Each structure stands twice: as structure tokens, then as C-alpha cells.
Amino acid sequence: MNNQNISVSSLAQSTDERPVISSRPPALPPEGNGHLLARLSPFWRDRLVEGGLVLSMILYYLIHSPLLSLPFLLIFALLSWYRLSFAIALLPLTLPYYLETYQKAVAGSAMFSLTEITLSICVVVCLAQFVLKRGERRFWLSWRELQDRVGPFLLPMVVFLLVAALSITIAYRGDLALRDFRKEVFAPLLYFVLVLLYIRSRHDVIRLLAALIATATIVAFMGVIQILFFPNSMALEEGVRRVYAIYGSPNSIGLLFDYTLPIVLAWALGRVRWGSRFLALFLAGLMFVVLYLTHSLGSWMGIAVAALFVVGFSIRSRKILLIGGLFALVLAIAVVAVYHTQLLNYVVDRHSDAFGTGTAAKRVYLWQAALAMIHDSPWLGYGLDNWLCHYSQNTICPNTLHHYWLLRDATGHPTGLVNEPNLSHPHNIFLHIWVSIGVFGLLSFGVVLILFYWLFARILISLHAAPGKYSEQLRWMTLGVGAAMLAALVQGQVDSAFLEQDLSFCFWTLVATLLLLRVLSQTSWRDVVQSEAKQEAV
């Protein structure tokens, strides 16, 4: 388990004879001299550092007195200096606590989320190591190596960052746009860069995915506690209690599970030891129970599609896959044919209000409002977190002249939106991005998704063509990451699955993880056969 002695080059040599991706495989990042913990075995040394990082940040967060909490922040910084890759990999544990209720005062009255505080410490430590250890070239990736890690993702990501920054200048409430740019665009992309710089070994990637899974597990346990001991605190809608744990909405649990539960399913169905598989099945079962009690139809659909995705890729026999796929298709057609009326009524009438309008119909009206807004400002949008300024009459932006709030449909029937003037987004991931930062932001986001699944397919093909010692482990991690992104996109058609602080971090973490899996699997950006042919021709 000692990840200090594992590099990309040694992993490649121990598994197969695939072509080397870059001329000089990156060395492991700086992690201190280890004198204080030298007497411990590498395994327990790593566990002790991990526990110290988590415990110190928990104590810093829970202790309100700045004088008493500051020493724990310093301990976290010192441990980060010793194992910065650990601190970066464990950052997803802080993601759920981004709401204003859970933010912590820093430097007086300024409030920041635990994620922002942790990320700031990691950045400060990174810069300090760069200054103080500049001469130790083996610790740093060259610009060429970093560029190779990002590959074709670089251009759309830069465009996305620039148009998001530009949206601040045209936003009606520039302060809100600037705040969300910092939280939902700049900070997640900064974390993306740190992950690519410091997460080098296979064990570090496992630690990063484990932190995502642990985050969802903690939220699931909070949901179970709410169900068992505080049922009256659950959201009550049409006589149904919906668990929400620490979030403001039950749908938020489903969105977090979109980015995590499919990874657990891929883990459970991968070729792993039975003890590991039983743990994965237990965690998946726990999350499924809480997910069911959210009564979030969008998350149910997202996880269902992701589960089918994982099962389909887990079946290695083409014959069994074809027969099973045809059987599932026939069964689905039969169910729809027999119960189509009941299914349609369930979706349309779900969570109906006093006007008889369900949440499905309300989403259609929201999409119509968003399309009307896009029609009037398609190129630059309206700025991050400025949807409410143009959507309805509210206290956020009381002086806007025109609103796109649909109170009645084309037939004059009430839309039911009169009682929901504070809906903060159009409940569709693509419309949300388009309204916020314009068509160029939407196109760059779409290019990232296309490249994501193109690379996903290349990695699986590479692992199948040249299997090695760790190919099965890399395969289920790749499959889980791809399925998690799919689940988020499916629920994102009826909800906001990206432009929230925790979800943006999850999104870019999945992208970064896939890029790291490309390096570990020795998958080339270009076709290997063509490259070898060109070299022979030269």
C-alpha cells in the first residue's frame, strides 16, 4: 500500500509493454522528508496522515472560536505539506457543506464553505512548495507534461472559463455573478488542475474515488438518522415524507448520488475480491434506501440508466449481452404498452399543486421561460446566478423591467408557478448553462462531454487490447466514472446537475479522474498503430 514507491512508469512496466505516453513519466509530487513518522510502516503512516487530515479539518470546522480552531487548521496545513496529494484527494469529503448555513467565518465576517477553505490551504501549500523546492525539478510536471495530461480538453475548458468570466460584466447583479464564478467555475477548475498535478499513482486515484464514495456514504447515514430519529423534520409533500439530510432539497441528495453511486455499482460488479464486493454492495444498498426515500423521480431515472450502463459493460459475453438486451427491451416495451396510462399519469400528476399542475408540467413552463430568455440574449446569456433577476418578481432583483415568468399557459390555464417565484434555475443542465453564460459556454461544455465519452471508449478499448496486472481495477474505475457522468446528465435534463458548488466539483473531478486513468492505462491520445507506422516511415 505504499504509494510513495509507485510511479506511472513502474506501473506500466509491471503490467504490459504498451507505448509510453510521454518521454519522461512524471515523478511523485513533493511529500516531505518523513522523519517524524519514519518508525511506522508505510501503510500505517499513510493511514495516520489521512486520519490526521480529516480529523484536523473536522475540529477546525466544528470549533467556532477562531483562537481555538486555528491550531487545527495549522495542523492540516502541516500534514498537507507532508502529503499534499492526500489532502487534494480527500477534498471531496468537504463538498456537501456549501450552503450558507454551514459556512464558516474567516477573517472577521467573511463566510466561506469548508471546500473553499480546504482548497485555499492546498493552493497555499502548493505555491510554498514551488517557491521553496523550486530547484528539485523531479517534483514538478513540465508544461508539456501537464498539457499532455489535459490533451484536447484544454481549449473547451479555457473557453468555458473565459465566457463565464465575461458573464460577470454583463450580469444585472455582478456581485452574484462574481460570487458564483468563484464558487462554481474558478474554484472547481483550480481543483481540477491540482488533481492533475499531484494525483500521480493508482493508489492516489483510488483515494480520490474513495473520498467521493465516503462523502455520499456520510450523507446517506445522515439521511438514515433523519428517517429513524427525526421523521417529522422530513419534507412533507402530498402526504409523503421526503428525506433531505443536510441539503435544502431532497433532489440534492439524488444529484450527489448521481456522481457517486454508479462508481459503487461498478466496483461491486467488477472483478474484485468478495470482501470488497460485499462492502460495495452494502454501501450501494444504503444509498438506494435513502435515494428511494427522496422520492426524486429524476434521480431514480438517472441511477436506473447508469445501472443499466454498468451492467451492460460488465457482461463480457457478446451473446449474453445481446440476448439480455433484447429481453430487457421487449420487457420494457411490454410494460409501457400495458401500463402507459398509469405511467403517464404518475409522471404528469406527480406532486400536483392546488391548480392541478404537477412538477413535470412546471418544468415545461420553466423551459419555455428559459427559451424566451435565450431568444432575447443568446450569445452572452444573463450572468451566473442572475436567472431570478429576469425570471420573476422577487426581492433579489426588484428593479428589473421585464420578467419571463409564465403565470398562465397558451390556453389561459394557471401554470402553478405563481407560488414559486424563487426557483433559482430552469431545471435543465443545458438551458441553465446557456441562460447563465451564453451559447459559447454551452458549446464548450458540450465539447467537454463529447471528449469525455470519446476518451472513455478509448480507455476501455486500450485495456481490452492490452490487458495488464491492474487492468481490471482500472476498468471498473473507468466504467464507474463514465456511468456517474451519465447519471448526472440524465437527471440534469430535469434539474440542475452542474452549476452548484458541490456538483461542479464533482463534475470536474470525474473529468480529471478519467484523464488520470488514461495515463495509468497508457492510453495514447492518437492511434497507436498510425503513430508506429509514421515512425517507421520516417
**Tens of pLDDT, residue by residue, the chain (538 residues):** 444 443 333 333 333 444 444 434 455 555 555 455 667 778 888 899 999 999 999 999 998 888 898 999 999 999 999 899 999 999 999 999 988 888 888 876 778 999 999 999 999 999 998 888 766 655 567 778 888 899 999 999 999 999 999 999 999 999 999 999 999 999 999 999 999 999 988 999 999 999 999 999 999 999 999 999 988 888 777 667 889 888 888 899 999 999 999 999 999 998 888 889 999 999 999 999 999 999 888 999 999 999 999 999 988 777 787 887 787 888 888 887 887 777 777 666 666 665 666 777 788 889 999 999 999 999 999 999 999 888 888 777 776 667 888 888 877 788 778 878 888 889 999 999 999 999 999 999 999 999 999 999 999 999 988 888 889 999 999 999 999 999 999 999 999 889 999 999 999 999 999 999 999 999 998 864 444 443 344 3
Using the Cα atoms of residue 502, residue 507, residue 508 and residue 509 in order, give the sign of their dihedral: positive
pLDDT given at position 317: 72
Instruction: Give the Å distances, CA to CA, from 170 to 9, 140, 439, 443.
Output: 48, 38, 14, 19
pLDDT given at position 13: 38
Residues in the chain: 538
Compute the 3-state secondary structure of the chain and give helix, strand, coil in percent, each to the nearest 5.
Answer: 70, 5, 30
Only one residue has cell 481555538, namely 68
In 3D space, the residue among 125, 122, 100, 126 whose CA is nearest the CA of residue 113 turns out to be: 100
In 3D space, the residue among 338, 354, 303, 280 whose CA is nearest the CA of residue 486 turns out to be: 303
Q: How far is CA 23 from the centre of its chain?
A: 31
Q: How many CB atoms lie within 10 A of CB 469?
A: 11
pLDDT given at position 22: 44
Quote the CA–CA distance of 358 and 512 in Å, as a whole number. Answer: 38
Q: Say how many CA atoms lie within 13 Å of 275 toward its Cβ.
A: 0
pLDDT given at position 30: 54
Q: Which helix (H) or strand (E) holds 159?
A: helix 154-170
Report pLDDT digits (tens) over 119-176: 999 999 999 988 887 666 555 677 788 888 999 999 999 999 999 999 999 999 999 9
pLDDT given at position 139: 58
Instruction: Enter the pTM of the model.
Output: 0.89
The grid coordinates of residue 533 equal 507506422
